[in-house]
Amino acid sequence: MEKFLFVLSRGLEDPTRATRALQLAKVAKEKGHEVNVFLVDDAVAYAVMGLADNVKAPTGDSAKPYLDYLIENKVAFFICTPCARTRLYSEEEYIEGAKLSTAAHLIDLATESKVFTF
């Protein structure tokens, strides 16, 4: 079993990257790997309940089913604290399993994981 870290920085304006990041995180989890997702910059929107509901890639696949799978399977979502606060998101709005985090924690996760960035 490997550890994978998916770092997403693109938000609702880039549905292709977000959908693909969540899809690959789902595939890694399905294969039995440890998966963490770290949301930075505009991607913190994906930690807010409901904001991913209508995100669809040009290929036709949607972000929501992948996100739902990850939530149901207890994948940890870490949210850049200053990124979320700058956008005025509050912890009451977050998806289950999402936690505020720091750049130092991101680096710690990266040192022990295979990292995918989107």
Q: Which of 9, 42, 8, 3 is nearest to 23 (CA)?
A: 8
| pLDDT of res. 17 | 96
Angstrom CA distances, 104 to 38, 40, 63, 113, stand at 12, 13, 28, 14
Where along the chain do its domains lie? 3-117
Confidence of residue 24 (pLDDT cuts 50, 70, 90): very high
CATH class label, 3-117: alpha beta
Q: Say what the pTM is.
A: 0.95
Per-residue pLDDT of 69-98, as tens digits, reads 999 999 999 999 999 999 999 999 999 999
CA–CA gap between residue 113 and residue 3 (Å, rounded): 5
- pLDDT value of residue 79: 98
